[in-house]
Amino acid sequence: MRYSQMLIPTTKETPAEAEVVSHQLLLRGGFIRKLTSGLYTYLPLGLAAMQKVESIVREEMNRAGAQELLMPMVQPADLWQESGRWKKYGPELLRFKDRHERDYCLGPTHEEVVTDIARRELHSYRQLPMNLYQIQTKFRDEIRPRFGLMRGREFVMKDAYSFDVSDEEAGKSYQKMYEAYTRIFKRCGLEFRPVEADSGTIGGSFSHEFMVLADTGEDTLVICKSCDYAANVEKAKVVPGNTEPTDQALQECVKVETPGMKKVDRVADFLGVTPKEVIKTMIYLADGEPVAVLVRGDREVQSVKLKNLLHAADVELAEDDAVWKLTKLPVGYIGPVAIPIKLIADQEVMQMVNAVAGACEKGHHLTGVNPGRDFTPAMTGDLRQITVEDPCPLCGGTLELTEGIEVGHIFKLGTNYSQALAATFQDKEGCQQPFVMGCYGIGVSRVVAAAIEQNHDKNGIVFPLPLAPVQIIVLNLSLKNEETTAAAEKLYMDLQAAGLDVLYDDRDERPGSKFKDADLLGIPYRVTVGKTWEKEGLVELRLRRSGDTSTIAYDQAAVEIAAMVRAEMQSTEKVDL
């Protein structure tokens, strides 16, 4: 490709709306342009980078025995009515009517459509296992699209769906996808961790997220320094501390005046205890119902754990005025004793002895509160946010918290969708059985952004070679000099003939701005044809990641550089699990 003829509108300034580095660099590098909120055009180099991700995904999915198909993006409402999800989703599901007034939605995912294919075309256990996948544009009407390709409303997803005769066989399909994902993200040159995840509302009983570690990730992970345990904090189980039963005598439960003391720390200070000895009572709305959630004073509630324990579709912390309106309880003085609403306690609270808690009376707290004697929760469970002080649930080692960008998510679906859509196959005994399914997603466009989050420096992107839109850029620094230009052009043609993706910078620009653009675009290999060639017949090679530069005799350059690029590509393709 000749730079002078390409649409690569690089810019020096950083657009104000771009908050994260990948969004800034994708805009500055002329890789994407915003059409409107959450909708982006992939300009030529942006599309080329995304297609590198797609081809790695396609190779590994095919290697795993999956078959590629392409389903419609527009989906008829009746399939979603059959699965019961038409009403389940709010405005995030973009719905519309066609000219015949029939209801449709833009596909945010394709469980219903693929299950409909299965029920029509898969009839016998002999046809199983089967894994069908597509790489396709999805639409989810996010309320606040931001971070460019990281959270767009329209995005490119690889979504795969497996069909098996039994849970055991479905486990094998799941494992195959787990391994394929590991290969995919390794080949993309990403530092990632598979983590146990909360399977959320799609009802699967088991799932793993694949997280690219990066500070701007929207998910918080807990990872162990000693073993390969990793989990989304929404799911990470807390090992109950083995607090030996204290021999403390149980005090009487006494009401004390705590005027204006609403916060745990203030009450603890005022009463001369630590927050660890205070029971914190938070009022949540679980599907609209108020519940009182108890955690130790120095802990935080993990709301996804609460949601899962209550099997609620939605839980949220009640605003202060809602608390008063719904419960007539004085915010800041709420406690578990004689409270007129459902009590849910974190397991740790039940070990507390002689604790402080709100008295459910303005300006008053209780001391000497003992769980089991003074209150009995309707439910107890692991509800609190894990901390780095907690031991690794697997090996007891030290935990650390880090941010991650979810680039993949795989789920065991069981028979949720096959039962809802009466999608069955005939088993060995001739009986009709519902397919046991799994579904597997990769955010293809998000992988490009995540790769940039993890691979950039002050000069711009540092593409991992497998994802680079072009592998080499050839800079001609003496455009006016016919010999130099002829040499540069020949080198460009030879490198292209060697099968490499080459960008030839033939623009009439100063060397400095060519160097800046090559760095900004993150192109792994930069070859310069200029003075050094004119004087000594040498070209300069510079590696973007390390900054290492070397000179190569012109007539060896194409062969040597092609060999280097091929060698590096092969090393990324050889992935041992």
Q: Which residues bind ligand 9G3 (CB under 6 A)?
A: 89, 92-93, 108-109, 111, 140, 159, 202, 409, 411, 439, 441
Do 450 and 441 touch, CB atoms closer than 8 A? Answer: no
Per DSSP, the chain holds a count of helices (H) and strands (E) of: 14, 31
Please identify, using beta-carbon distances, which residue of 441 and 524 lies nearer to ligand 9G3.
441
Nearer to ligand 9G3, 202 or 322 (CB): 202
Nearer to ligand 9G3, 147 or 181 (CB): 181
Nearest approach in angstroms of CB 228 to ligand 9G3 is 23
Q: Min. distance of Cβ 331 from ligand 9G3 in angstroms?
A: 34
> How near is the Cβ of 235 to ligand 9G3 at its closest, in Å?
16
Given the complex with ligand 9G3, which of 207 and 455 has the nearer CB atom?
A: 207
Q: Which residue lies nearer to ligand 9G3 by CB, 89 or 125?
A: 89
In the complex, the smallest distance separating the C-beta of residue 111 from ligand 9G3, rounded to whole angstroms, is 6
Comparison of 82 and 534: residue with beta carbon closer to ligand 9G3: 82
Helix or strand run (H / E) with residue 49: helix 44-63
Instruction: Give the relative orientation of helices 482-497 and 554-573 as an angle to the nearest 10 degrees.
Output: 30
State whether residue 455 is helix, strand or coil. coil
Q: Which residue is nearest to ligand 9G3 (CB)?
A: 441
Pick 177 or 318: Cβ nearer ligand 9G3: 177
Nearest-approach distance from CB 421 to ligand 9G3, in angstroms: 15
β 206-213/219-224 pair status: unpaired
DSSP per residue, 97-121 = E-TT--EEEE-S--HHHHHHHHHHH
From CA 464, how far away is CA 258, in angstroms rounded? 60
- Least separation in angstroms between CB 237 and ligand 9G3: 23
Neighbours of 533 (CB within 10 A): 25
Distance CA 301, CA 315 (A): 12
555-559 LR contacts (CB < 8 Å, sep 24+): 557/491, 557/527, 558/491, 558/494, 558/495, 558/497, 558/498, 559/498
Neighbouring residues of 277: CB distance < 8 A, sequence distance ≥ 6: 268, 297, 352, 354, 355, 356
Please give the full DSSP string across 67-92, using - where no structure is assigned: EE----SEEEHHHHHHHT-TTT--TT
Q: What's the burial of 342, exposed, middle or buried (CB within 10 Å: 0-12/13-18/19+)?
A: middle
- In whole angstroms, give the CA distance from residue 574 to residue 192: 17
Instruction: Closer to ligand 9G3 by CB, 303 or 455: give it.
Output: 303
What is the nearest approach in angstroms of ligand 9G3 to the Cβ of residue 209? 10
CB of 47 to ligand 9G3, least distance (A): 22
How many CB atoms sit inside 10 A of residue 274's CB? 13
Lookup: tokens for 22 = 């990948």
The Cα–Cα gap between 289 and 141 comes to 27
Query: What gap in Å lies between CA 332 and CA 264, rounded to an integer?
Result: 8
Residue closer to ligand 9G3 (CB basis): 443 or 469: 443
CB of residue 431 vs ligand 9G3: minimum separation in angstroms? 28
In angstroms, the CA 499 to CA 235 distance is 46
Token couple for 38: 């959450």
Closer of 51 and 115 to ligand 9G3 (Cβ) = 115
Cα angle value 96/98/100 (rounded, 5°): 135
| Helix/strand/coil (H/E/C) assignment for every residue in 387-420 | CCCCECCCCCCEEEEEEEEEEEEEEEEECHHHHH
Q: Which is nearer to ligand 9G3, 202 or 498 (CB)?
A: 202
Q: Kindly state the smallest distance separating residue 52's Cβ from ligand 9G3, in Å.
A: 21
In whole angstroms, the minimum distance from the beta carbon of 201 to ligand 9G3 comes to 7
Smallest distance, Å, CB 452 to ligand 9G3? 23
Nearer to ligand 9G3, 158 or 365 (CB): 158
